[in-house]
Amino acid sequence: MSKDFASGRGEEPPSTSRLNSLKEFHSAGRGAWAHVSDADWNDWRWQLRNRVTTPERLQERLPTLTGDERDGLHLAENKLALAITPHFFNLIDPEDEHCPIRWQVIPRSGEGTVAPWEMSDPVGEDSHSPVPGLVHRYPDRVLMLVTDRCAAYCRYCTRSRLVSNASGYDFHPEFDRQIAYIASHPEVRDVLLSGGDPLLFTDEKLEYLLSRLRAIQHVEFIRIGTRIPVFLPQRITPELCAMLKQFHPLFISIHSNHPRELTTEVRDALGRLADAGIPLGNQSVLLKHVNDDATVMKALAQKLLLCRVKPYYVYQCDLIAGSAHLRTSVRRGLEIMKSLRGHTTGYAVPQYVIDAPGGGGKVPVNPDYVLSRNADRVVIRNFEGKVFEYPEARDGTPRFKPSEDFIAPELV
Ligand SMILES: *Cc1c(COP(=O)(O)O)cnc(C)c1O
């Protein structure tokens, strides 16, 4: 594609240079907030108070809004609130209407188009809630929703029915009832705090919740699902980290979708969490216009490792009402996974899952590496497309050497 490369001047292949430029760390900068003092800018409460939350403010900060985005704004009011932190807002490229950051946080007219198969509770959480705000879907762990507020709102939010309270769901978690349920269910050895974003709570409130969970003998480990390190890295203060590290084993799953989100500020915030001994994972959602691209996903995965974050899951976009404009095919997702596995370290390869519509839970979907399997052998394909066979018998002992007459098709 690149003329320089084609003319043989010895530059790197275009894909490598694109990968490397996607992995460069940049500061979010001050953008339109150049006049603000360092003390204010670095204060998470200032960032929250100064979020872009109204169509007027958005239009003023981003005069290049497209017709599609303007049409989307009036939909936001009673569906899912508009909110973008100044830090995250500065990652928007005003000259690029297909900027991957814009697609994630600025409403579009597509939000008003609801297909018959789309749902307000696409993964059936409400039907698996024994008490309000607690989802017990898997045998040994629960999802505990502690708030309906986030620092900023993702337009494809799977919990938009309750998050931001724009659609009148009236979410009221009752911590006492949630905790009583966990305490009376000894099979629950793993509690995942989410919402909304638990890190919006004050240190004191979070500490109170974590210590109540830690007081339950059978709770082995606690996780927090949060996008705050990405939306609001200023929240990750040394005081927060010192508080969190009292509750080990405590893991954090962050949410990032595009390498541009990993700014120098975000890298530093993640470094503070990692230094507090908190294992970090990342969850991404596969989104059209954002990351349905093998090079973008590889850059994201490798850049996460540079931030000491293990890519954990990539989700196929849930069938949330009004998300068709952001959805991409499972076929595309599988192609992307194939481009990662073996081509880069396994640490950079997340598990691709579909959260089964209606409440089946997360189901892994993988490219086919097992071509066939019978009582005698397994025929497998490697990342280069080469085919191999592995002998096995019912008791696990190979009955014979790999057949000498086995002819591996070169490429499948
Ligand atoms: C994703 C999820 C979990 C956690 O699943 P892991 O595979 O352990 O990360 C727990 N409960 C619910 C309802 C979930 O959706």
Catalytic residues: 137-138, 141, 150, 154, 157, 159, 318, 355, 362
Distance from C-alpha of 89 to C-alpha of 61, rounded to nearest angstrom? 9
Distance from C-alpha of 295 to C-alpha of 293, rounded to nearest angstrom? 6
| Res 352 pLDDT > 90 | yes
Strands (E), 309-350: 309-315
Which residue has the CA at smallest separation from atom 8 of ligand 1? 141
Q: Ligand 1, residues 136, 141, 182, 280: which to mutate, most atoms within 8 A of Cβ?
A: 141
- Give 134's strand partners: 131, 144
Counting residues of the chain whose pLDDT is more than 90, the rounded percentage is 84
The per-residue pLDDT for range 13-65, each reduced to its tens digit, is 777 899 999 999 999 999 999 999 999 999 999 999 999 999 999 999 999 99
Distance from C-alpha of 196 to C-alpha of 365, rounded to nearest angstrom? 27
Distance from C-alpha of 127 to C-alpha of 125, rounded to nearest angstrom? 5
Q: Is the CB of 362 under 6 A from ligand 1?
A: yes
- Per-residue pLDDT, 207: 98
Provide Rg for the chain, Cα atoms. 23
Q: Ligand 1, residues 128, 129, 138, 187: which to mutate, most atoms within 8 A of Cβ?
A: 138
The stretch 229-240 carries a mean pLDDT of: 98
Whole-prediction pTM value? 0.93
Distance from C-alpha of 83 to C-alpha of 152, rounded to nearest angstrom? 5
pLDDT bin (cut points 50, 70, 90) of residue 404 is low
Nearest residue to 198 via CA among 186, 184, 188, 208: 208
**Ligand 1 nearest atom to the CA of residue 141, by list position:** 10
The stretch 228-233 carries a mean pLDDT of: 98
The per-residue pLDDT for range 154-213, each reduced to its tens digit, is 999 999 999 988 888 889 899 999 999 999 999 999 999 999 999 999 999 999 999 999
Q: Which fold has domain 23-367?
A: TIM Barrel (3.20.20)
Q: Is the CB of 138 under 6 A from ligand 1?
A: yes
Q: Is the CB of 289 under 6 A from ligand 1?
A: no
Instruction: List Cβ neighbours of 374 (8 Å cut-off, separation of 6 or more).
Output: none
The per-residue pLDDT for range 70-129, each reduced to its tens digit, is 999 988 878 899 999 999 999 999 999 999 999 999 999 999 999 999 999 999 999 999
Distance 389 CA to ligand 1 centre (A): 35
| Res 220 pLDDT > 50 | yes
pLDDT bin (cut points 50, 70, 90) of residue 401 is low
Kindly report the average pLDDT of the chain as a whole number.
Answer: 93
CATH 3.20.20.70 in the chain: give the residue spans: 23-367
- Per-residue pLDDT, 9: 52
Starting from the edge strand earliest in sequence, which strands make up the sheet with 280-285, in order? 134-138, 141-145, 190-194, 221-226, 250-255, 280-285, 309-315, 351-356, 361-364
Show the CA angle centred on residue 24, arms to residues 21 and 29, nearest 5°. Answer: 120
| Res 7 pLDDT > 60 | no
- Per-residue pLDDT, 408: 59
- Per-residue pLDDT, 399: 58
Which residue has the CA at smallest separation from atom 3 of ligand 1? 143
Instruction: List Cβ neighbours of 244 (8 Å cut-off, separation of 6 or more).
Output: 206, 210, 250, 273, 276, 278
pLDDT bin (cut points 50, 70, 90) of residue 397 is low
Q: Is the CB of 141 under 6 A from ligand 1?
A: yes
The stretch 289-298 carries a mean pLDDT of: 98
pLDDT bin (cut points 50, 70, 90) of residue 402 is low
**Ligand 1 nearest atom to the CA of residue 312, by list position:** 9
Backbone angles phi, psi at 181, to 5 degrees: -60, -45
Contact 403, 389 (CB under 8 A): yes
Quick one: tokens of 146? 């502690």
Q: Is the CB of 143 under 6 A from ligand 1?
A: yes
Contact 221, 189 (CB under 8 A): yes
**Ligand 1 nearest atom to the CA of residue 253, by list position:** 9
pLDDT bin (cut points 50, 70, 90) of residue 388 is very high
Distance from C-alpha of 347 to C-alpha of 341, rounded to nearest angstrom? 10
Distance 52 CA to ligand 1 centre (A): 31
Quick one: tokens of 4? 């320089």
